[in-house]
Chain A
Amino acid sequence: MASESATVRGKSRGRSRLLLPVGLSLSLFILLISLVASITYGAADISFDTVYAALTDFDGSTDHLIIRTVRLPRSLIAMLVGAALGVAGVLMQGLTRNPLASPGILGVNAGAAMAVVIAVFLFGSSSLSVYAWCAFGGAGVTAITVYLLGSLGRGGLTPLNLTIAGAALTALLSSLTTAILILSQQTLDEIRFWLAGSVAGRDFTLFLQVLPYIGIGLAIAFALGKQMTTLTLGDDVAKSLGQQTLWVKLTAAVSVVLLAGSAVAAAGPIGFIGLVVPHIVRFLVGVDYRWILPYSAIFGAILLLVADITARVLISPQELPVGVMTALVGAPFFIYLARFKVRR
């Protein structure tokens, strides 16, 4: 047993020296391909050369306009939102040490969504900065509530307690959201596509507006890599190694709220990216959060881009909300995890 774990450790060290950077650049390359594919495929048939020309040598033709004002911002936002959700999921799973944690399951998305619906209902506002701040508020309050509720249950923060608390809160929030939507059909019409989770019809200013929030969130997350790795050893060990666990947790929580909140503000509640990505990444990379975090960002971006392309192509010229796509793919994965990865 001892020798086995020694070889595992040796292998993972070898992995981290050589394979991990190579893998990172490889996945960056895949991300680039997905981005190009996302810009190229769509309802209007536009050749790759035209896409290239539109980006480098803009001439104002319809095709170029489509690329620049419709597809490019949409793809960039999908990329950004995917990265944010992936990293938020990793942080949540690391913080709660729970393989089922993710912004969607634990109700953080639902909280952000409800805050936005309330804002639209009360102020009729559709400006993104209002969306964003409401979404942050909603996400933050819900995250804290779920965490408290989950840790109050019997046996502390078990996956079951946390998941049930999240599910109950989601039920409550979505029923209240529905009640608001009933009172105002105008709000319903304005917001229903957004509620399903979609990156369609987003323009470039939106990208620029969410960029700083997600940028800060990602920066905080990446800076926490080493501390998060220590934290996975357990609170006691981390404390005895001299870590101020409370501060690490709080900072990570701020990052989660920034990332999940702005992702919801930009694209509506898109579930399951934050659940699936950490598992794939941990399977490939191991336990070192200094590598897990950047990998998760890239994988999240790839996953959402691919899901968005599929959502567009599957029933073209109509398109599905991408949130529905990710739920249909991600929920079976959740069930798989619940069956095989959760042990009591």
Chain B
Amino acid sequence: MRKSWLVIRPRLLPLSFRLERRVPTVLFVLVLVTLLAIVINVGQGEYPIPPLAVLKTIVGLPTANPDYAFIVNVLRLPRTLVAFGVGVGLAISGTILQGLTRNPLADPGIIGVNAGASLAAVSLIVLFPDVPLFALPLSAFAGALVVAILIYLLAWDKGSSPIRLILVGVGIAAILGALTNLMVTFGEINSVSQALVWLAGSVYGRGWQHVGALFPWLAVFLPLSLALSMQLNTLSLGEDLARGLGARVEWQRGLLLLMSAAMAGAAVAVAGTIGFVGLMAPHLGRQLVGPNHEGLMPTAALIGGLIIVLADWLARVLFAPIELPCGAITAAVGAPYFLYLLVRNRKR
């Protein structure tokens, strides 16, 4: 039994990770698969590029065709990176929410966190069409955070309850949806059209500036949420048990909610609302490495990234030359998966 765990305890940091033995292998395989998916996604399209040439171009080696450098480095690579980063953000956000609410069906899209980010960003697009790009993640994060706090406060009744969190979230999402509708109805048709493309969840036309807007957020909040994943283990045992184990429940819950909002907000800000990724990734991750959050968090993050990279690839290839928003693909896959989860839940 002792051999099945891997304990990492850095001397300098007050942290410890206890991973299952299989986690590093799973992570390694996932990284390989993700890299492969990225190369495929970059290589395929209107103008196909062989995989080897893609690799060479990314590393900076000269290739047979000088056009490759432009297509790979300017058009496709940043877009694919954004897709990956967005997936990581949504997956972490979903993992945290599912752990916190102890509900396997929680997802930043279902409880209004994404709706808050959307409203903030749509208002920005519609009311101030000339606003610079880096402001979008900020406003989306602010929107997501305000909504997360609001949900938390409104669900507060001598302590917060997971069920009330979800129901209140659905109610808040309805209000925000109405306000977003208001923006869409009264905005000038061109900016509304742009806002709608953004709302459907797509990484179309994303460039390095979007990578620059997204990755700082990931760089800050990804390590933080990994560090907090141990607390998530305690919290997901239930409130009484967590308190009995000495966890500062409300404080930790608040902190984790903040992480979740930050990740969802940053992801929504660059790619709009891509649904069901935050729902699917943690479940797939759990099937691979089990429910222990220290191993689950990085696994789910990689899976989330992989899902969106693949969805984006499908969205581009499926009806080429027409391009679907990849949010439509994830929704089309995610909704049946959601149904499957509901059915499987009943059997247990």
Contact = CB atoms under 8 A, between A and B. Distances in A.
Nearest to B274: A175
A338 B171 contact: yes
A172 interface: yes
Contact of B157 (A171, A189, A334, A339): A339
Interface residues of B, number: 53
B208 interface: no
A149 B201 CA distance: 25
Contacts of A79: none
Interface in B162-193: 163-164, 166-168, 170-175, 177-179, 181-182, 184-186, 189, 192-193
Contacts of A178: 196, 199-200, 325
Contacts of A183: 322
A178 B274 CA distance: 12
Given A175-B275, A175-B327, A339-B155, A331 B335 contact: no
A331 B157 contact: no
Question: Which of A272, A332, A339, A342 has the most chain B CB within a 10 Å cutoff?
Answer: A339
Contacts of B189: 185, 189
A168 interface: yes
B75 interface: no
A188 B182 contact: no
Contacts of B81: none
Contacts of A330: 174
B178 A324 contact: yes
Interface string B15-33: 0000000000000000000
B331 A172 contact: yes
A334 B171 CA distance: 6
Contact of A193 (B164, B185, B345, B346): B185
Contacts of B175: 327-328, 331-332
A182 B325 contact: yes
B52 interface: no
B273 interface: yes
B258 interface: no
B174 A153 contact: no
Contacts of B324: 179
Interface in B91-125: 105, 107, 109-110
B37 interface: no
Interface string B247-277: 0000000000000000000000000010110
A159 B192 CA distance: 35
A161 B346 CA distance: 11
A167 B110 contact: yes
Interface string B276-315: 1000000000000000000000000000000000000000
B167 to A, nearest CB: 4
B154 interface: yes
Interface of A is mostly: helix
Contacts of A272: 174
B342 interface: yes
A332 B168 CA distance: 9
A208 interface: no
B221 interface: no
Contact of B185 (A152, A160, A321, A342): A321
B174 A154 contact: no
B275 A327 contact: no
A334 B166 CA distance: 12
Contacts of B346: 152-154
Nearest to A160: B163
A195 interface: yes
A38 interface: no
A169 B170 CA distance: 12
A165 interface: yes
Contact of B168 (A153, A181, A196, A339): A339
A164 interface: yes
A195 B181 CA distance: 8
Contact-residue size bin, chain A (C-beta under 8 Å from the other chain): 35 or more
B166 A324 contact: no
Given A196-B185, A321-B182, A342-B167, A171 B275 contact: yes
B174 A331 contact: yes
Interface in A129-157: 149, 152-154
B343 interface: yes
B325 A335 contact: no
B275 A172 contact: yes
Contacts of B328: 175-176, 179
Nearest to B202: A182
A189 B155 CA distance: 38
A324 B325 contact: no
B34 to A, nearest CB: 25
Question: Which of B167, B172, B273 has the most chain A CB within a 10 Å cutoff?
Answer: B167
A89 interface: no
Contacts of B193: 185, 188
A172 B274 CA distance: 10
Contacts of B275: 171-172, 175
Interface in A287-323: 318, 320-321, 323
Interface of A: 100, 104-105, 149, 152-154, 159-161, 163-165, 167-169, 171-172, 175-176, 178-179, 181-183, 185, 188-189, 192-193, 195-196, 271-272, 318, 320-321, 323-324, 327-328, 330-332, 334-335, 338-339, 342, 344
Given A164-B110, A324-B179, A331-B172, 12 more contacts: A152-B339, A168-B335, A171-B331, A179-B200, A179-B328, A192-B184, A324-B178, A327-B174, A328-B175, A335-B167, A338-B168, A344-B163
30 contacts: A105-B174, A152-B346, A160-B167, A164-B110, A164-B170, A167-B170, A168-B107, A171-B109, A171-B276, A175-B327, A188-B196, A192-B185, A196-B181, A318-B186, A320-B182, A321-B182, A323-B178, A323-B181, A328-B178, A331-B171, A331-B174, A332-B175, A334-B174, A335-B167, A335-B171, A338-B167, A339-B157, A339-B168, A342-B164, A344-B163
